[in-house]
Copies of this chain bind each other. A is one copy, B any other.
Amino acid sequence: MPPCFDDMDMQFLSDNAARVHPAVWRAIAAADAPDAPYDGDALSQRLDEAFSVLFNRPCVALWVASGTAANCLGLAALVPPHGGVICHRDAHIETSEGGAPSFFTHGAKLLLASGEGGKLTPESIGAAIAPIRDDVHRVQPHAVSITQATETGRVYTLAELAAIGAYARAAGLALHMDGARFANAVAFLGCTPAAASCAAGVDVLSFGFVKNGGMGAEALVHFDPARADQARRMRKRAGHLQSKGRFLAAQLLALLEGGLWLDNARAANAAAQAIAEGAGARLLEPVEGNQIFLRLAAPERAALRAQGFGFYDWGEEAARIVTAWDSREADCRALARAIAAL
């Protein structure tokens, strides 16, 4: 049963539930003039350059309508059907994409690794690979996929990323980053977007915008421009080449403009910090992005909901609280107080 939002202003259920940023609204309104269909329009044609500027190196950037599509198109470019992708056992691609990775890759296998805070390390990747004898009976690893920020709200440090990148390169593995909340990670790290991705060895980045003020456009960024042709064909083949692509391109460009994507992420992160202040020992994970995982018993969750706060359960004994660019400061403070008062 979906949650009811009717009378609720103070929702922290999901950044997918957040509003579209006014600048994005203005951009899509401005895009509503005749232009070439698909990605032949002037806005779509600007994406490669806009992202190349952002990452300070040539890249190929495609709009797609969902994070699942971005992740799976990205993986499909890195792993053959008979290969495998190492990912955390809590990775979104493993737990929450309804088999899409297998669909897009024509059956490649997710090879699961473990690690605290949803993070992989060279050691945990190595431990996942070690038992895989190199013969035709075993599916061999071809790529690693990491999530930044992770599914449990953690952010890989630059050193951690560099270590994974170096390991992958040495092992001949490609590196994919699920960046549904890449903006939040960059905001937390205070680094350039390049430092948190391509400079660390990431080959393909799913760069999330929908949770960060967008409406229905994510960016699939290939740091190897040679993949442009294949990437565009695969998008079309998956039915993801929308005919009025100008509306997707407009969203991405609006969020890139003047660093709005980063401002929005900072706002969401700050909102999470404000809530975390009330959480104390209840915190299950350090709050590094816009997600908060709290130990909260069922009656406590009920009490908070009775006060008008919306969030999802996280197993039996915890809750997940997610902020967004539009989380109101007053709501966050109220929630922090409410938690502290439990």
Which residues on A are within 8 Å of B, measured CB to CB?
2-3, 5, 8, 11, 13-14, 16-20, 25, 28-29, 32-38, 40-42, 45, 64-70, 72-73, 80-84, 95-100, 102-104, 106-109, 136-140, 210-211, 215-216, 230, 232-244, 247-248
Contact = CB atoms under 8 A, between A and B. Distances in A.
A81 B66 contact: no
A49 B62 CA distance: 35
Given A34-B19, A106-B106, A248-B216, A2 B40 contact: yes
Given A106-B107, A239-B72, A239-B240, A5 B33 contact: yes
16 contacts: A5-B33, A5-B34, A5-B35, A5-B36, A25-B29, A68-B239, A68-B241, A81-B103, A82-B234, A98-B236, A98-B237, A98-B241, A136-B232, A136-B236, A137-B236, A216-B248
A117 B33 CA distance: 31
Contacts of A16: 37-38, 243-244
Given A66-B239, A236-B100, A236-B137, A36 B17 contact: yes
A72 to B, nearest CB: 6
B98 A102 contact: no
A66 B243 contact: yes
Given A3-B40, A5-B35, 6 more contacts: A5-B36, A17-B35, A66-B242, A81-B102, A98-B237, A136-B233
Nearest to A215: B247
A37 B17 CA distance: 6
A213 B97 CA distance: 31
Given A33-B19, A241-B68, A106 B80 contact: no
A127 to B, nearest CB: 15
Question: Most chain-B Cβ atoms within 10 A of its Cβ — which of A103, A104, A235?
Answer: A103
Instruction: Count identical subunits in the complex.
Output: 4
Nearest to A216: B242
A234 B83 CA distance: 10
Nearest to A231: B136
Contacts of A238: 69, 100, 103, 238-239
Nearest to A19: B32
Nearest to A139: B99
A163 to B, nearest CB: 28
A37 B65 contact: no
Contact of A137 (B65, B98, B210): B98
Contact of A3 (B36, B64, B235): B36
Nearest to A64: B239
Nearest to A36: B2
A244 B215 contact: yes
Contacts of A230: 80, 82
Contacts of A5: 33-36, 42
Nearest first, the 10 closest Cβ-Cβ pairs linking A and B are A69-B239, A2-B40, A102-B107, A16-B37, A2-B36, A98-B236, A136-B236, A16-B243, A68-B239, A106-B106
